[in-house]
Chains A and B, each alone.
Chain A
Amino acid sequence: MPAPVDPQLLRELTPRVLGVLVRRGADFATAEDAVQEALLRAWRRWPDDGTPDDPEAWLVTVAWRCFVDAARSEGARRRREEQVATIPEPGPVAAGDDTLLLHFLCAHPALSPTSAVALTLRAVGGLTTREVAAAYLVPEATMAQRISRAKRTVAEAGLDGPRELATVLRVLYLVFNEGYSGEVDLAAEAIRLTRQLARLTDEPEVHGLLALMLLHHARRASRTRPDGALVPLAEQDRGRWDTAMVAEGVALLQSALARDRLGEYQAQAAIAALHADAPSAEETDWVQVVEWYDELLALTDSPVVRLNRAVAVGEADGAPAGLAALAEVDPSLPRHDAVAAYLHERAGDLAAAARLYTAAARAATSTAERDHLTRQAARLHPHS
């Protein structure tokens, strides 16, 4: 009985199958190609043959065979160059932390962030090169090269490198922030991968990042108008927030915070949770928001955090206090003028606000932000 292949199942299995091959001693680059080949065969065969009883074992067997074939032909080539190729003996199928190993390998510190993102989406996320290319709006050939260079870097670095959760989380955060740019929903993909990671490790920061993503994702429907225009937090229709997702995010955050090992993602999630909890912008507990920004600053000392803190101070203690906080922030930051414009408008200086919104629109880094800031400038511009 023909049945459609479940793409989620294949994506879930991708890092596990690759992890098995790598753990058996297969070199990373060849193994990753072999897994992609096995996935393609699954797409072709399973609709007619039916999904195997043990799909993971099926994929491991087929991928291993592909790997051995590739290693043999590579070996033959190398022998002609008088070198010896080794095909490792298939060892036991290892336990569930193969997926974790894959997360670490694909976020290897030797990779640039862009390469780590591409490799993670393919080798851990199980996306095709075409899908990753479409998500980042580059030609498929370019993305194929980017991924294959990244694989070589990882293969050369070997399995014994540093295993830093921070870089893994950074990669997932970058994927989430790219949002939704066409046929692949990167935000949803980032959540899926972070969920997967959260099942494998009980590090509070992993759960903090997942909570942060869910709390932001819950607002997605209200964040843009049907024509794509940005809607600022204060003007969002809070009735459209996904309450179930908010509840899940809050619960995750609370149990992470209870572990008493604060990190930047937990602190960011705490701020997002305070917003999610408020019935309106005015009723937000801005004093607590500022306190969380202080925590976040202590953890990161990031200029962007300092900038966002100035907005919160403006809400908690009034626009003049916000402007005083802003005076300590590097004015060359991309969103500095946008924040200054907002605070000046709140302080009643509409002329300065209009001028700053205009400058902010010119410094925007996305068309959605530029258009939003242009509208703000136009709103304050004196019209005859």
Chain B
Amino acid sequence: MKYLLLKHYRGGPERVVDHGPLEEWRPEEVDAHVGYMRDFARRLEESGEFVGEQALAPGGTFVRYDGEGRPPVTDGPFAETKDLIAGWMMIDVEDEARAHALAAELSAAPGPGGEPLHEWLEVRPVYGAAPTVAD
């Protein structure tokens, strides 16, 4: 079963630890954090559970159709949207419990002082194939 782990810049439940923006950490703390994330993805590849991941740049734009022959309407980027997704990782695991365990592991990525961030991650199931034997 595939799950999408979503990392948010903003939004979701209240933060457990206020670790401040990454730009204000010590360089070695940033290295440790980035290294943890990289190792996590590598471990998932080795366990045969990795599907893909991408980080998203913060500056997004809203776009919509505005009628035949007219250029698309754009809005934003917004400095203070309520929810902002920082990146995603797709995993393919045995069950939901495993997806939650992996999300918790990712949430333990080190922050300032090497302490776990306890960051909230959103776990979303991906639709699978419709089973043949259902009726």
Contacts and interface: CB of A to CB of B under 8 A. Distances in A.
Contacts of A113: 94
A73 interface: no
Contact of A112 (B45, B94, B129): B94
A365 B47 contact: no
A365 B127 contact: yes
A179 B132 contact: yes
A216 B134 CA distance: 10
Contacts of A212: 133
A368 B94 contact: no
Interface stretch (B19-27, B48-56, B58-66, B114-122): B48-56
Given A141-B50, A142-B49, 15 more contacts: A112-B94, A114-B92, A138-B51, A142-B45, A144-B48, A145-B46, A145-B48, A147-B48, A176-B132, A179-B129, A179-B132, A268-B133, A365-B127, A366-B128, A368-B130
Given A139-B51, A149-B48, A232 B127 contact: no
A369 B130 contact: yes
B133 A142 contact: no
A139 B129 contact: no
A216 B93 CA distance: 27
A275 interface: yes
Nearest to B44: A142
Question: Which of the listed residues A114, A115, A179, A230 has the most CB atoms from chain B within 10 Å of its own CB?
Answer: A114
A230 B130 CA distance: 9
A178 interface: yes
B6 to A, nearest CB: 19
A375 interface: no
A368 B51 CA distance: 22
Interface string B37-81: 000000001111111100000000000000000000000000000
A280 interface: no
A177 B133 contact: yes
B45 A141 contact: yes
Question: Which of the listed residues A335, A367, A370 has the most CB atoms from chain B within 10 Å of its own CB?
Answer: A367
B52 A370 contact: no
A176 B134 CA distance: 12
Nearest to B134: A335
Contacts of A137: 2, 51
Rank and list the top 4 A-B pairs by shortest CB-CB distance, nearest first.
A146-B48, A366-B130, A145-B48, A368-B130
A25 B58 CA distance: 57
A149 B133 contact: no
A145 B45 contact: yes
Per DSSP, chain B at the interface is: loop
Interface of B: 2, 45-52, 92-94, 125, 127-135
Contacts of A217: 132
13 contacts: A114-B93, A138-B50, A138-B51, A146-B48, A176-B133, A177-B131, A179-B129, A179-B131, A181-B129, A232-B135, A335-B134, A366-B128, A366-B129
A288 B86 CA distance: 56
B52 to A, nearest CB: 7
B131 A138 contact: no
A46 interface: no
Question: Which of the listed residues B52, B125, B135 has the most CB atoms from chain A within 10 Å of its own CB?
Answer: B135
A154 to B, nearest CB: 14
A138 B49 CA distance: 9
A347 interface: no
Contacts of B52: 139
Nearest to A144: B48
Question: Which of the listed residues B50, B92, B134 has the most CB atoms from chain A within 10 Å of its own CB?
Answer: B134
A266 to B, nearest CB: 14
Contacts of B92: 114, 136, 138, 142
Contacts of A147: 48
A149 B45 CA distance: 11
A299 interface: no
Contacts of A365: 125, 127-128
Contacts of A141: 45, 50
A143 to B, nearest CB: 7
Contact of B135 (A144, A178, A179, A275): A275
